[in-house]
Amino acid sequence: MSCTVCAGETDTLVKDKKVLVVYYSKTGNTERVAKDVASALHADIEKLVDTKNRNGFWAFFASGRDAMKKRKTELGPLEKDPADYDLVVLGTPVWAGNITPAIRTYLDTNRDKLKNTAYIVTSGSTPAEKVVPSCEEITGKKPKAYAGFTAPVLKDGELYRKKLAGFIDELKK
């Protein structure tokens, strides 16, 4: 897989650090960003699977309600232990102004295993600054960095590459 931002770079961007990218994606937007970040950082990657059926008209509203009420969900089996990583980058879409139940469950379950975190937030228009505090509250940790990718950013290739490169640069510090 090649990174749309750093094609040609071969050095590990987060020197001497083991990085894991964990994400939940329903529409593919968060997955796209997560895969680009993982490629740029030469990181391991893990997709969260929410076992609750979130397909269809009524499930759309129920999912938004679950996010608003800060509910957790049941996740499918995980392959990677976040305790084995120096940095875990978590990717979530925004549902009803909140992180998804899948990410909430992962953070709550693994809060004591997370050494350092960073966040990828995808949304129609909700700024990352609105949802990252929920993640901080669950983990009790400030993130190393976070980046929000709204619909206009995701649609504009140049803007997307700049935003992604800025996020990767923050993680390199």
Q: What is the CATH number of the domain that holds 112?
A: 3.40.50.360
Residue 5 lies in a domain: no
pLDDT in tens, 78-128: 999 999 999 999 999 999 999 999 999 999 999 999 999 999 999 999 999
pLDDT in tens, 38-77: 999 999 999 999 999 898 889 888 888 889 889 999 999 9
- CB burial of residue 21 (10 Å; 0-12, 13-18, 19+): buried
Residue 9 lies in a domain: no
Residue 7 lies in a domain: no
Name the token pair of 43. Answer: 């990181």
pLDDT in tens, 32-43: 999 999 999 999
pLDDT in tens, 132-162: 999 999 999 999 999 999 999 999 999 999 9
Looking at the structure of the chain, the number of domains it has is 1
Residue 103 lies in a domain: yes
Residue 11 lies in a domain: no
Residue 137 lies in a domain: yes
Instruction: Print the domain residue range for 99.
Output: 19-172
Q: What is the pLDDT of residue 76?
A: 95
Residue 3 lies in a domain: no
Residue 14 lies in a domain: no
Contact indicator for 96, 29 with CB cutoff of 8 Å: no
